Structure 1
C-alpha cells in the first residue's frame, strides 16, 4: 500500500470512493477492490497478534523479563470466543445498516431510525428500543476508512489466508515468502480476487451478481460454527 499504515490506507481509499463511487451496491470499482485488499491485510496481521508462537518472540513481563505464559494466551483466546455467535450476528447487522444507508437508494424516503429498527427486527434476536437512535453516535459508519460492511467481509478472506497459508507455521520463510510474492508485492496492480486465489488456491473467491463472494468455511471453522 505504498508505505501507508492500515488506517491511512483506509482513509485514502475511502476519500477516493466518496469522490468516484456511483453508489451502486455490489458494483465493485477499482477503489472497492483496493479497499477489500487493505482490510484483508489489516485482519491478517491480527491473527499473528493472537498466536502464541508469535507473541513469545517479543511479549515479556516489563519487570521480570519473563516470556508471556502460554496458558495466559490460551485463556485469552478462549475468552475471545465467548458469545461468538452473538458477536457475529451483531457485525452482520452493522454491515446491513451500512449497505442499506449508503447503498442503493430506498424505494421511498424514510428516516434512518425506522430503517435501522426494521433491520434489527428482521436480522437480530433482540428488539429495537423505541425512542433510541444509537447509530447517530456510531462514528464508524461515516469516518471508518473502509465501508463498515467490509469489516466482516474482509475477515472471511483473512480467515482463509490464515488457515490455508499461515496457521501451520506463521513465522517460516515459506509462509513469509508466499505472503510477500503472491499477495503483498503487487500492490494495486493485480485484481485482489486473483491474488487470493493465487495465494490459497482453489475457488476461494467467486463472482456473483457483479460482486465478489468469499468462502466462509475458514471463518466458520475459527468460530466453531456449522456452515449451513
Structure 2
C-alpha cells in the first residue's frame, strides 16, 4: 500500500510577513526598536560630523593663538562671533579679565580665581554640548536586547497558544510563531550593537577633545597669571 504524504502549505517567513503576523505587543516592540535604531544612527552621524568640526576648530584656534597675535586683537576678533571649543574658553576668560580691570580689581588672587571659574564654566558648557545624546546611546545599548527579548517571550507564548489551539506540533505550525518571536530579538540586537560601539567610540573622542580644551585652559590660565603679576608689579 502506497503511503501518500499530505503536504501542508508552506508558511511565508519573509520579514514583512512575520511582522504582519506578529502579536500586537510584539509589533509595538519591533516598531519601538526600529525607531530607536533610526534615532541611534541619526545621533551617530550628527556626532561624527560635529566632532570633526570641533577638531578642525581646535586646530584653527591653536594655530591662530600661538601665531604671536596679541590677546587683545584676538579677543576683538572673536568677541562678536559665535565661538566654540577653545575660542569660547578664551573669550570667557578675556571678558572676565577686561571687566575686572575696568572695575579696578585690586586682588590678583581674586581675579585669577574669577578667570579660572569663567573658563571652567565655558568648558562645562562645551562638554555638555559634546556629550549631549550620548546617554541615549548608552541606554539603547543596554536596554534594547532586553526589550527585544521581551517581545520574543510574548511571541513564543502566543505561538504556544496557537499550537495548543491547533493541536499540531508540525513545523509549519510552529515555525512562523517562533520566527516572528526571534525577529524581535534580532531587531533589539540591531539597535543595541551599533549603539554600544558608537557610545564607546564617541565617549573616547569626547574625552580627547575635552583633554585638549582643558590643556588650553590650564596654559591660558598660566599666561594670564603671569600678566596679572606683571601688572601688579608695575602698579
* Range class of TM-score, shorter chain: under 0.3
TM-score of the two chains, using structure 2 as the length reference: 0.26
TM-score of the two chains, using structure 1 as the length reference: 0.26
Larger helix percent? 2
Report which of the two structures shows the higher radius of gyration computed on alpha carbons. 2
